[in-house]
Chain A
Amino acid sequence: MTDIELNNNLQKRTLGQWLFNPFQFIAGGSALLVGLAIILTATYIGSLSNTHFDGVLDVHTGKAAPLWLFFAEVLSDWLWISIMLLIAGHIISRSHSSVRAIDVFGTQALARAPYLLSALVTLPKGYGRFVEFIVSKSTHQTPAVAIGGADVLLFLLGIVVSLVVLIWVILLMYRAYAISCNVKGSKAIISFIAALIVAEILSKLALLLLALVTDALPPA
């Protein structure tokens, strides 16, 4: 590639590419460092409102738990999905050189970055009050908290943002898989969905086992 073409290519990069397919530009160790930093920050912020990332795609605002459990949940999710996609990638990759584990783990860590938004939108007290109110109502108990119009709005905002973030994360996880393992087409989509389901089950089982062994409270 000539210098002019190279410069043109660099200039063509858009915000959209960075938001929806950053793995063209960042993978491996740097993606792992950035991704883990964001994951751990999101987990800490989430813990302030008892928001658990307790599954490969799950976000739940639940009961209070020790801080280490919040981190164990998110690391378990990330590890299981990365391991499953690495196995799937090794089976179906078109790559003529080996698929690097550091790329799969790094890009999957970075793909979870939007969860920082989920942690932030569940942070306001009003969101937690509304969740507590709904849980009390659904279990036919008298709510211990009173809610206002602002709480309802915060809850609705949180739900909408969390839904958008969920779709965004799935898209990023798939693109991370496609680039790090060089997979395309229907095989890639089917293996991704299969890996996602297996990883979700395994992460749930791992967290259940961890909660049982340590007597920590599982999230609601």
Chain B
Amino acid sequence: MKKLPSICPACQSQLNIKKLSCQKCDTEIEGLFELPALAKLSVEDQELILQFIRCSGSLKEMARLQKLSYPTVRNQLDNIIEQIKTPENQE
């Protein structure tokens, strides 16, 4: 299955979901649905959050696995927090 894009490749705006479908019974739902806050992040940022969870929230462990320094990993997480805190994500 393809990865879910969150940014429009044409104009770089935030994408929304217009259509959902059930693969089992072919039911289709149309409307305008907003992406969840985490789904709005880039694929790289989502991977970082998944790793954060896999490491039980330990930045030290993440830094060790990625062979990066602790403040570098902490800064990556801070950047994600900043994105999540933007007004459009807080709605």
Contacts and interface: CB of A to CB of B under 8 A. Distances in A.
A95 B72 CA distance: 11
A123 B44 CA distance: 49
12 contacts: A1-B44, A5-B47, A9-B66, A24-B68, A24-B72, A27-B72, A28-B71, A97-B74, A97-B78, A103-B69, A179-B75, A182-B75
Q: Is the interface of B mostly helix, strand, loop or mixed?
A: helix
Interface of A: 1-2, 5-6, 9-10, 23-28, 31, 94-97, 100, 103, 107, 179-180, 182
A27 B71 contact: yes
**Which of A94, A100, A182: most chain B CB closer than 10 A?**
A182
B24 interface: no
Contacts of B81: 96
Given A179-B69, A179-B72, A1 B78 contact: no
Contacts of A27: 69-72
Interface string B30-44: 000000000000001
Contact of A23 (B44, B66, B72): B72
A8 B80 CA distance: 22
Contacts of A5: 47
Nearest to A6: B66
B67 interface: yes
Contacts of A9: 66
Contact of B78 (A23, A94, A100): A94
B48 A95 contact: no
B66 A28 contact: no
Contacts, number: 55
Contacts of B71: 23, 27-28, 100, 103, 107, 179-180, 182
B82 interface: yes
Interface residues of B, number: 18
B16 interface: no
B6 interface: no
B41 to A, nearest CB: 14
Nearest to B72: A24
Given A1-B48, A1-B51, A94-B82, A24 B74 contact: no
Q: Which of B44, B50, B51, B67 has the most CB of A within 10 A?
A: B67
A2 B3 CA distance: 14
A23 B67 contact: no
A95 B67 contact: no
5 shortest A-B CB distances, which residue pairs? A27-B69, A182-B75, A1-B47, A24-B72, A103-B71
Interface in B55-80: 65-72, 74-75, 78
A182 B59 CA distance: 15
A197 to B, nearest CB: 24
A95 B74 contact: yes
B74 A182 contact: yes
Contacts of B82: 94
A103 B69 CA distance: 9
